[in-house]
Every structure is written in structure tokens, then in C-alpha cells.
């Protein structure tokens, strides 16, 4: 059994700005767990524990889905509070694309592969305790644009949990056309 999800790793040219955002959050009155720089990603579908025997079929299905999509550009920016402003458990950045390809790709993955699909976002941290008044007044009005990048592939990613936190690695990469 392998814990896995379908996602897109964040390119190196966007990571410094995202880490700068994380640094800003660290200075606020908040108790949270930050996503490590090497683990920054967009999740398209969380699959959970999968039997090794199913991985080859997943790879083929993911390749088939990706052959129907052209590479596209996404923008990273805009603070997103999950599940809501009133009950913050995750602080994330919004991911948008002007053509609407990303949500369509995510829905195709859910339809053909399965898993738990959420609206596209980039998790910055998972919140344990937050002073909402202080944090939200500073967080919601800051410039959070981190840049744009070209999505030209999607990864099937393995998640291995340890005491030091999760480690993510690519099992398979499917190229967009």
C-alpha cells in the first residue's frame, strides 16, 4: 500500500516568494505547521492508500487524461482561508488560470481516477491556534501575488509520513500536450 495523490509540484522560481509569504505569517500570532519548501504543491486529487497493483492502471489513466489537455499558465496569489474566515484550519494561496483548465483537469481526474478533489490551492500552513483579529487584519490585505508558471505535466505523488513530517516523491509524471 502506498499513500498517494495527484498533484503539481511548485517550480523553483515561485518558491522564494511563497517562502516569503510563510515568513510573514511566522511573525503573526499563530500556531501552525508550515509546508516545507520541497513539499510545496497543488493537489488535484487526494487518493489515499492505494495497492501497489493498482498503480500501473492509475498511471495509464493519468496519461490518457493529460493527453487531452494543452499546457497552460496558472497564477499563484490571493490568500485563501480554509474552510472559512470564521474557522481557519489552513492558510493557502489561490491558484487560478484564465482559461479554466485547472478545475476542468481536476474534475476529469476525479471522474476517471477518483479521490477527494478540492478547489485548486497551495497550502502554506495548517493552523492549530490563531488570533483571528490580528492575523486576518494583516493577512487579508497584503500583496500575496507570487507569480505565474506553466503547467505542462501532472505528477502521481507518493506521501511517506515520518516523525519529521511528510516526504513527497514523484511515482509517475504525465505530460500535457
Percent above pLDDT 90 for the chain: 81
The 10s digit of each residue's pLDDT in 139-170 is 888 889 999 999 999 999 999 988 878 899 99
* pLDDT number for residue 9: 95
Residue 102: which CATH number? Answer: 3.90.1140.10
* pLDDT number for residue 32: 95
* pLDDT number for residue 164: 79
What band does 24 get if pLDDT is binned at 50, 70 and 90?
very high
Question: In terms of residue numbers, what domain contains 106?
Answer: 2-175
* pLDDT number for residue 95: 95
* pLDDT number for residue 140: 81
The 10s digit of each residue's pLDDT in 72-83 is 999 999 999 999
Q: Could you give the number of structural domains in the chain?
A: 1
What cell was used for 66? 493529460
Amino acid at each position: 500500500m502506498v499513500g498517494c495523490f495527484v498533484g503539481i509540484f511548485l517550480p523553483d522560481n515561485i518558491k522564494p516568494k511563497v517562502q516569503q509569504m510563510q515568513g510573514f505569517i511566522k511573525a503573526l500570532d499563530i500556531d501552525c505547521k508550515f509546508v516545507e519548501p520541497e513539499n510545496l504543491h497543488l493537489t488535484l486529487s487526494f487518493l489515499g492508500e492505494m495497492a501497489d497493483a493498482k498503480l500501473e492502471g492509475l498511471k495509464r489513466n493519468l496519461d490518457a487524461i493529460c493527453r487531452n489537455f494543452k499546457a497552460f499558465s496558472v497564477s499563484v496569489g490571493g490568500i485563501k482561508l480554509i474552510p472559512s474566515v470564521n474557522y481557519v484550519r489552513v492558510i493557502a494561496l489561490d491558484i487560478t488560470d484564465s482559461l479554466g483548465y485547472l478545475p476542468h483537469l481536476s474534475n476529469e481526474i476525479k471522474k476517471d481516477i477518483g479521490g477527494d478533489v478540492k478547489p485548486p490551492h497551495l497550502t502554506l500552513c495548517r493552523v492549530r491556534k490563531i488570533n483571528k483579529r490580528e492575523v486576518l487584519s494583516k493577512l487579508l490585505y497584503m500583496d500575496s501575488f507570487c507569480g505565474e508558471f506553466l503547467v505542462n505535466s501532472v505528477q502521481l505523488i507518493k506521501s511517506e509520513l515520518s516523525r519529521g513530517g511528510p516526504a513527497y516523491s514523484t511515482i509517475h509524471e504525465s505530460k500535457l500536450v
